Each structure stands twice: as structure tokens, then as C-alpha cells.
Structure 1
């Protein structure tokens, strides 16, 4: 077995061990970086050169790391300013029991498009819909499927999405051009999914539990809570830079949190760093903050550091050559 195969096998073995044991993937990725760096050192690269190769890959995703920071702040402040509960509170009465799963899909799509995050949508609106489904006796698996379908609409097609931003950073393309093209390919499956949820008999309920007081009884849901959303949508329509849009929305959310929601500056700073801590009984609103993005940022940071090492050491040259030959026979799409 060649040394390249040994190094890659060690990395894959560490990855499999972390998956089986339930350990964080960061450990596997850090082990991979150690393996690839050790292989580069064995080939004659000096430590300073190895650090430079890692830095070359990291520099390509510097913009993404900034967006991760902004997403962490945004998801926290939209909770503390009551923007997310306000939207949920006023959208839930629209839900038609006769087409419950259709509305689950549509509303999860809407919130994920606003936030650009699948996790933030699933942990708030998704949890609410799962509670409603269980109470109404509807299939929880079907409801979970509708939630998952909806949250990835925004994760794929929102200008606020970190996934979309990562694609732009790696390909050197415009986020707005990419989103426009993604929507062009998404419209047909989007309407087909809507049709499926309309026709499914298992998606119907006679009535739904009373939800008007789900948040209103424990939170101040003033119309000012929509200010962060307004400060996101207006610049978005003007095609501002995504980071500036997020910064405007975060600033508006901080103002609403301090003035309307009467948060202390210390509590707001703690919320931005560690995530929002809701009142008792509102635990589904907890989350967000810089800390919530630490793992995903670490994963992207470590894997981007691989790029320069893999290119300089030729670890994947054999696989790349095989894929090129295969693409001549099967085409690029089937090979990928």
C-alpha cells in the first residue's frame, strides 16, 4: 500500500471511530490535519511552509467565518427582540387543519428564508409544529418530514444562508446570481412538494389545539419586534452586501431588546455570546449566540486548511485522475 493510501486510511479510520463512538467530528478533522501535516513534513516541507499551506486554504473562507459570527449574533438577537416568537405567533392562526402538513412546509420555508438557517428554524417553529401534531394526533414522522423539507428551502436558497455563502466563497460567484439560479431549479420541486402535501389524506386534522396564547402569555410581543426583520428585508431587496444586511438587522434587534424588551446591556451581551435564555415554559426559544456556531465554524476552518496540504502533497492526485477517466465514460454528473 502506498504512503498516500496509508495517510488517507488513517484519516478515514479516525473519522469512522468518531462517528461510531459519538465523539465530535472536530477530533477526527484535527487528527486528519495532523496526518496530512505529518505527511507533508515527511515529503520535505518545512513547518513554516506547512503552516503557509494551511493558511492558504483558510484565507479562502475568511468571509464565511465572518458570516458564521453574524449568524450566531442574528439568531440570538431575533430571539431576545421577540422577532421569531412574534412571527410564529401571528403565522400559526393561518394553519388550516385540513392541510396541516402543507402549512408546516410553507411556514418553515418562510422562516428559513428569513433566517437562512435550518437549525434555527427547526429548533423554534419546527418544535411548535411537532407539539401541535402530537396533540392533534397527526403522524409525527410526516410532520418531521414537512419540517425538514421546509427548513432546507431557506438553507439552500436564502441569501442569508451560510451554505450558500460558502459556495460563493469557494467558486468566486455572486450570492444573488446563485440564489436566482437556485430558485430557477427549485420552483418545480417546490410546487410538486406542495401538491403532495395537499393530496395526502394523512395530513388532515379536524381541529388544532388553541395556539393564540402560546407565546403571548409569557412574552411581550410588540410590533417593534418586527424591526430586525424589516432591517433585513429592505436592504435585501436593494441587494446590499449580505454581511451589511445582517449587521443592520443585529443592530436593530439590539435596540429593540434594550428598549422595548427592557434587557440590561449585560444580559444582552451574555445572550449574544452564549445564546438566548427564555423565561420558564418557553424553552423552545433558547439558542443562538456565538457559541452555537463554534462547532460548525471549527469544521469549516479545519477542512479548509486541508486544501493547500492536499494540493501540495498530491494526496488526492490518484483519485482525481480516476475521476477524470471515469467522467469521460459516465459524464461529470454521474461520476460526481
Structure 2
């Protein structure tokens, strides 16, 4: 029964992807399927609704973060922060190595801050704006950003996902990081090589440099406009909570909007809700966007996804799959089984944290060593979740930077880690790279 329900959900997802329909339809179908499963297994309607609300309540912080991201993406544009950075940086970057530079910059910031969302909301937005000005394909830039932000999310000492895995497996986070670096050296080098090669062979036609001369006519440019992103990066080093980081950045951006760009309070409130819009058609494609309403679709996706976790915990639908997983480990390697499970949990859970927890719960009996289990989780659930289009780990960063969903196809680092592990296991079945 469980496999049939999950299979039908998978088919609905596949149909929506092939038919180019919104993933919301598939998620709604999935909710109906899992709700019906709950009814079949003797759970009442009120109980299932309570479990759904409970699941959404557990991610209330994420919903607040999404609202703040909408405000940040609007106020950074309106305050001139994005304009100042693009104006001062665009002359210094060589188009042929831009994709490579984007990957490295996002790697550095994500390692320093330990947050993929925070990196996307700072360096990611800046890189996408520069890419737009230079006429570089948004799919390529988005893929490089998605790869880069998860380098640190995976192996930064201040990463919440790394801390979660070390807590679940009762291992030392620094020993885990040492192992993670070992398993990611080859994928990292290959990713850099791919981005360098693609940068040289793609025939990007940069927009005319005259567009840079237009920017000062629409924004007051001053170094103080660097404060909103600088504060996020600086305060993140002290492990300040994401809500505080973003709230401070929004407040500072609003002050800059009023006192530097001379935007009225009424206009500022409108911008925070509806997004920023500039009158110049040439600059519109670069600077227009953001606002709380731009996050509505993502919020809907996340709420439906979160309701699943409540139903799963109450009905035990995934617990009944443990026996099947144990059997599969006889045919695949332990890592291969964990990778398969993490793919399934990422599809169903729709967020990285829940995927990590579910994968651990379902696979903890497969591994004989907690250290190896920790590395296996880092090399599966952490990097697989951002490859699922409707996952929070993917949707939030891409929406934040304004990248197309097709950017997933170019997030090379996220593919190469599990592929490298699988390739290495075929040659050395008993070793970790």
C-alpha cells in the first residue's frame, strides 16, 4: 500500500514536469493521496488536519525567513546596494571566467557563514545581477550559485546541516569535515574545470558598457550602500540567527532607501510588498523584482510540503519501508542504498532537514560505523535535496537570486559528489575516498 501511494505521487510529479505544469498541482495531489492513506489506516479527518497544521507550524521560522527574503530582494534593489556593487564590479570581471568566479565567491561566503540561504541572499543576488548586465545565461549563473552555496552548507563548521548530522550520529563535527573534504576534493576540482571550460566556450555577448553610465542617473552611489550585505556576512561569523541577520539587513536597507535614495515611506512599503520597479527599460531586466508577493508561490509549495511531514509522523508511512531498505542493501552497497533512500525522502520531505532526519531514521541500521554513516549522509541527503525542484533547498535560493529552475541541471558539484562516491566504490568497495 505504502509503495503504491508513493508511486502515484511520483507519477503525478513526473506528469507535471513533463506537461510543464506548476509543481503545486502535483503537491496537492500528493497531499490528497497521503491524506487518503491516513484515512485508510484508521486515522480520523480531524487528526490528519491537526497533523498537517503541526507540520506547517514546525517550519514557521522558514516562512518568516521567506518573507524577509522578499523584503531583502526588494530593499537591496531600491536602496542602490545592487546598483553600487554591479557598477563598481562589472568592469573588473572577465566574462570568460565569470561562471567560475561565481562558483568560487559563493563557496567562500557559504563556508564563512554556513548558510546556503544567506549566501544566496547576498553574494547570489549580486552575482546574478552582474550576470544579467554582462549578458551571461541565467541558467549557467544560477547553476554555479546553487553549487557554490552548498559547498559551505555541507562542510562549514558553522553549518546547521553539518551540526545536525554530527548530533544525530553522535560524531565529532570537525572529524566529519575532515572526511567531507576528502570525499569532495575531486568533485570540487572537476566542477571548477567544467565552469572554466563552459565559460570559455559559451559565446556570451555582453551588453553594451553604456548601460553602466546610466546607473548613476537612477541611483545615488556611495560605499555605505555595501552595509546590508556586509552586515549579514559579518554577523553570520558570530552565528547570529538567520532571522536577526535578515531583519537587521532589511532595517539598514530601509534607512538607506529613505536617506540616500530619498524614497518616501509610502513608496518604500509598496516596494517591500510588490517589489522594486525602475522606469528605465534597459535597467528593468537587471534591477526589477523582489517583494513579499514574489515569494507567495514558494511559500505555498513549502506549506504543502511541510504538511506532509506531519502526516508522515502520524501515520508511520515511511517506517514501514525499513524492511524494504534492508533488503535493498543486499543488492546495492550501503552507500548506494542510502543514496536511493535520500533521493526518495528528498522528493517526499521537500526540505533538507527533514530529508536528513528521515534518511538517518531509515538507514541508521545499515551502517556499522557512525563516522561512515555521517559522511554517507553528508554525501547524499545534503546534496541531493537541492536537486529537487520543489524542495525548499532548491526553490528558495533560485527564487531569491531570480534564476530559472533549469539551473539545477548546471549545479555540477551537487551531482559529482554522489557520482564520485559511486564510481570510487565500484573500484574500492571497502574504502571511503
Distance 1:201 1:42 in 2: 54
Please state how far the C-alpha of 1:253 moved relative to its aligned partner.
Answer: 0.2
1:301 aligns with 2:296: no
Give the secondary structure class of the aligned counterpart of 1:263: coil
Change (3 A) 1:324 1:80: farther
Q: How does 1:82-101 map to 2 (within 5 A)?
A: 82-96=80-94, 99=97, 101=99
- Between 324-333 and 235-244, the greater mean CA deviation after superposition: 324-333
* Structural RMSD (CA): 3.8
Match of 2:410?
none
What's the offset of the Cα at 1:287? 1.3
Give the conservation status (yes or no) of the 8 Å contact 1:108–1:125.
no
Superposition map of 1:186-205 within 5 A: 189-190=187-188, 193-194=191-192, 202=200
Say if 1:257 and 1:188 are closer, same or farther in 2 by CA, change over 3 A: farther
Report the number of matched residues.
Answer: 315
Unaligned runs of 5+ residues in structure 2 are 111-115, 340-433
* Equivalent in the alignment of 1:137: none
Distance 1:90 1:154, change over 3 A: farther
Residues 63 and 169, structure 1, Cα contact 8 Å, conserved in 2: no
Question: Can you list the C-alpha shifts for 1:130-154, whole angstroms capped at 9, x where unaligned?
Answer: x2x5xxxxxx6xx853552135313
> How many angstroms apart in 1 are the aligned matches of 2:249 and 2:14?
40
Change (3 A) 1:156 1:57: farther
Aligned position for 1:125: 130
The answer on whether the counterparts of 1:57 and 1:308 sit within 8 Å (CA) in structure 2 is yes
Partner of 2:39: 41
2:124–2:145 CA contact under 8 A, matched in 1: no
CA distance in 2, matches of 1:212, 1:154: 28
Q: TM-score, normalised by structure 2?
A: 0.61
1:1-336 map, 5 Å? 2=1, 4-96=2-94, 99=97, 101-103=99-101, 105-106=103-104, 115-117=119-121, 120=125, 123-129=128-134, 131=135, 144-145=139-140, 148-154=143-149, 157=152, 167=161, 181=177, 184=181, 189-190=187-188, 193-194=191-192, 202=200, 209-210=208-209, 212-213=212-213, 215-281=215-281, 282-283=283-284, 284-327=286-329, 329-335=331-337, 336=339
1:280-308 Cα distance to aligned partner (Å, 9 max, x none): 22112111111222222221221121123
> Which consecutive residues of structure 1, in runs of 5 or more, have no partner in the other structure?
134-139
Task: Report the CA distance between 1:252 and its aligned residue.
Answer: 0.1
